[in-house]
Amino acid sequence: MQDKITSKRRIFEILAVTLTAGGKFLFMDYLDLRLPYVIAAVIGWSLYIIVRSRHQKGILSYWGFRKDNFLKTVKLLWPFALASVLVFLIIGAYQGTLNPSWHILPILITYPLWGIIQQFLIIGLISGNLHDMERPDLNKYVVIVFSAIIFSIVHFPSFWLMTGTFLLALFYGLIYLRIRNIYALGIFHGWLGAIFYYTVVGTDPFEEAFLVWIQ
């Protein structure tokens, strides 16, 4: 990447992500505007990505929007993903929260897009900026744990979502700072998140996000 990212730019991005995360509590939890919030966040941050890519050469690759290391990243993720799904099923069966439904199919298709944006915000902009910022010079593991805590807090008050996203962000943070690929992380996040909802959490995000608007 030819142009250096300034500390002011990094701080601005971290604050913007924090504001977006805070909006979840207002628009999703309080106003119950789950789908409009997600759509607005996806469109808004997609526009930011497009604008930055036109003004700063190499920024997409730096962030992890790249294809050259996609399969390499997938190879690191799939054992964790398979183990996670097995754990989800065991917990769901024990709790009696397994919620098999065809509704999971559209979620498996659409949720990865939201997963890519989430990983870009939490792992790409928070972990990436804190790790690469000149001052303060933070330890890699401090950055990973801090980002995981932020991601967990955003999913308050659900115990299982807070626990799951914290552990996921720890693993993803380690992977991202080793090999940056937002596509792979986002897709796996979307798939695991969808399965997590229909097994451990026992809810139906398709009904909560989509059906509520057409019924």
Asked whether residue 169 is domain-assigned, the answer is yes
Peptide bond connecting 136 to the previous residue in cis, omega within 30 degrees of 0: yes
Provide the number of structural domains found in the chain: 1
Residue % of the chain over a pLDDT of 90: 82
**How far apart are the C-alpha atoms of 42 and 196, rounded to whole Å?**
21
pLDDT digits (tens, 9 = 90+) for 166-184: 999 999 999 999 999 999 9
47 belongs to a structural domain = yes
- Indicate yes or no: pTM above 0.95: no
Confidence of residue 2 (pLDDT cuts 50, 70, 90): very low
Count of CA atoms in the C-beta half-sphere (13 A) of 120: 26
Domain presence at residue 2 = no
Each as own residue / partner, the long-range contacts of residues 94-97 (CB below 8 Å, 24 or more positions apart, any chain) are 95/200, 95/202, 97/199, 97/200, 97/201, 97/202
**Which range of residues forms the domain containing residue 101?**
7-214
Q: Which residue has the tokens 């996609």?
A: 70
Average pLDDT over residues 62-66: 96
pLDDT digits (tens, 9 = 90+) for 119-165: 999 999 999 999 998 878 889 999 999 999 999 999 999 999 999 99
Q: Tell me: the pLDDT tens digits for 7-28?
A: 999 999 999 999 999 999 999 8
Is 199 a member of any domain?
Answer: yes
Q: Is the pLDDT of residue 209 over 90?
A: no
Tell me, yes or no, whether 1 lies in a domain: no
Q: Which residues contact 104 (CB under 8 A, 6 or more apart)?
A: 194, 195, 198, 206
Does some domain include residue 114? yes
